[in-house]
C-alpha cells in the first residue's frame, strides 16, 4: 500500500474545551495538523460547527472516528456513512481511521472499544468491513490497535499477527498507537518490542501518543488522562526511526490541563520525533551506502 499524501509532524487531538483558543490561533506554529473525531461535529451546528470552520482554515485536519464498529456485525448505518463521507469532504482529511474493535451489536451501540478474537475468521470479517467503508467513503482507511483488557474470544494468533492480517487483507493503513501497545504489554506481560517488530510498519500512516492510568491494582487503562510516559516516547522514536515522516498525534481526553501544558508536552514529542527522523535519515543513507557497496 502506498502511503497516502497528508500532513506529517506533530499534532493534537482537538477537544471541545480548546476550540475557542485554537480558532483564535493558539496552536499556530505549534502543531502541523489537528485530529478530530467526526462524531463530535457531524449533525451538529452552533458554536462547535462555527469554530471548526475557522480552525480548518488554519490547520490541516485528520479524521479519527469512534463508531464504525469494524469488528461488529450487521449492516453499517447508511445515514451515518453518508454524513461521514460529506464531512470528510468538507474537512479535507486525506484518510479516515477507526479502531480495530467492536463497539456494539444488534443495533445497540456501547460507545466503547471492545476486543475481537485474534483469528483468521475475525481478520477476514474485519477486513471485509474495512473495505466496505473505504469504498463508501471514497478515501483510504486506517485501523488503530486498541488497548484491550480481556480477550475477545479464542484466538489462533497474537495481536500483532492479527493486525498484519487485517491490514494485508483490507490493503489499509495502520494507525499505530504506541501507548496502547505499551498498556497491553504492561497488562498482559507481553514483549512490546516483539509486538512492534511484527506489525506492518510499512503500513503505518499515523501514530498516536497518549498517557494511561492505573485503574485497579493490576490494571492499566488507556484513559488519555495523563502525560505520555518516557517509555511511550522511546517506542515512538523506535517506530519513527523505521517509518520516516508520519503524523504523530497527542491524545488527551481526561484530566484536561490548560492548553499551555499540552503545548509543553507537544514540544517534548516534537523533540523525540525530530531526533528519530534524523536517525531515520542516517539509516537511509547507511542503507544506500551499503547497497552501493554490495553492487
Partner 1 sequence: MRPVDATAETVPEAAPGVLALFRICVDPDAPARLAADADRYLADLGLGPSDRAALLATGPRRLVTYRRLVHNRLRNATRGLMPRTVARRGDAAFGADFDGFMAERGPKSPYLRDVPGEFLAWVAPRWADAPDVPPYLAQLGRYELLDYEVANEPSGGEPHTGRPLALDRPLRVDGSVRLARFDYGFHRLPRNPKDRTVPEQADTPLLVYRDRTAYKARYLLLSSFGWELMRRIVEDGSAVEPALREACAALGRPLDDHHLAVAAELFADLEGRGVLLGAR
The distance of closest approach from Cβ of residue 239 to partner 1 in the complex, given in angstroms and rounded to an integer, is 26
What pairs with residue 173 in β-bridges?
A: 142
Site residues (CB under 8 A) for partner 1? Answer: 39, 42-50, 67, 71-78, 80-81, 102, 104-112, 114-117, 119, 121-122, 125, 128-129, 131-133, 135-136, 149-155, 187-188, 215-216, 219, 221
C-beta closer to partner 1: residue 74 or 230: 74
C-beta closer to partner 1: residue 135 or 288: 135
**Residue found by looking up cell 509532524 in the block:** 9
The distance of closest approach from Cβ of residue 131 to partner 1 in the complex, given in angstroms and rounded to an integer, is 7
Burial of residue 11, with CB atoms counted within 10 A of its CB: 0-12 exposed, 13-18 middle, 19 or more buried: buried
C-beta closer to partner 1: residue 80 or 169: 80
C-beta closer to partner 1: residue 35 or 222: 222
**CA Rg value for the chain:** 19
C-beta closer to partner 1: residue 61 or 133: 133
The distance of closest approach from Cβ of residue 24 to partner 1 in the complex, given in angstroms and rounded to an integer, is 15
* Measured distance between the N- and C-terminal CA atoms of the chain, rounded to whole angstroms: 28
* 81 phi, psi to nearest 5 deg: -65, -40
**Residue found by looking up cell 461535529 in the block:** 41
Centroid of chain to Cα 95: 11
SS3 content of the chain, % helix, strand, coil (to 5): 45, 20, 35
The distance of closest approach from Cβ of residue 44 to partner 1 in the complex, given in angstroms and rounded to an integer, is 5
- State the Cα–Cα distance between residues 143 and 159, nearest whole angstrom: 13
The distance of closest approach from Cβ of residue 78 to partner 1 in the complex, given in angstroms and rounded to an integer, is 4
The distance of closest approach from Cβ of residue 186 to partner 1 in the complex, given in angstroms and rounded to an integer, is 13
C-beta closer to partner 1: residue 29 or 46: 46
CA proximity to 91, closest of 99, 103, 83, 100: 83
Amino acid at each position: 500500500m502506498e502511503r497516502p499524501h497528508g500532513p506529517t509532524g506533530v499534532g493534537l487531538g482537538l477537544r471541545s474545551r480548546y476550540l475557542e483558543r485554537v480558532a483564535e490561533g493558539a496552536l499556530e506554529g505549534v502543531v502541523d495538523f489537528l485530529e478530530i473525531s467526526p462524531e463530535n461535529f457531524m449533525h451538529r451546528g452552533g458554536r462547535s460547527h462555527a469554530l471548526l470552520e475557522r480552525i480548518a482554515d488554519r490547520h490541516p485536519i485528520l479524521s479519527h472516528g469512534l463508531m464504525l464498529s469494524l469488528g461488529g456485525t450487521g449492516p453499517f448505518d447508511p445515514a451515518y456513512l453518508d454524513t461521514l463521507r460529506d464531512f470528510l469532504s468538507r474537512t479535507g482529511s486525506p484518510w479516515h481511521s477507526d479502531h480495530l474493535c467492536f463497539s456494539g451489536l444488534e443495533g445497540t451501540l456501547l460507545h466503547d472499544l471492545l476486543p475481537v478474537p485474534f483469528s483468521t475468521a475475525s481478520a477476514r470479517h474485519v477486513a471485509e468491513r474495512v473495505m466496505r467503508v473505504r469504498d463508501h467513503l471514497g478515501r483510504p482507511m486506517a485501523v488503530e490497535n486498541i488497548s484491550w483488557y480481556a480477550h475477545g474470544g479464542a484466538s489462533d494468533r497474537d495481536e500483532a499477527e492479527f493486525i498484519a492480517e487485517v491490514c494485508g487483507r483490507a490493503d489499509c493503513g495502520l494507525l499505530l498507537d504506541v501507548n496502547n501497545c505499551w498498556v497491553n504489554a504492561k497488562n498482559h506481560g507481553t514483549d512490546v518490542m516483539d509486538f512492534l517488530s511484527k506489525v506492518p510498519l510499512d503500513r503505518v500512516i499515523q501514530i498516536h501518543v497518549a498517557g494511561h492510568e492505573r485503574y485497579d491494582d493490576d490494571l492499566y487503562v488507556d484513559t488519555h488522562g495523563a502525560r505520555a510516559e518516557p517509555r511511550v516516547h522511546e517506542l515512538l522514536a523506535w517506530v519513527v526511526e523505521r517509518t520516516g515522516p508520519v503524523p504523530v498525534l497527542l491524545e488527551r481526553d481526561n484530566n484536561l490541563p490548560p492548553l499551555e501544558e499540552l503545548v509543553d508536552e507537544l514540544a517534548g514529542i516534537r523533540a523525540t520525533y525530530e531526533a528519530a527522523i534524523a536517525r531515520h535519515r542516517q539509516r537511509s543513507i547507511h542503507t544506500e551506502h551499503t547497497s552501493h557497496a554490495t553492487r
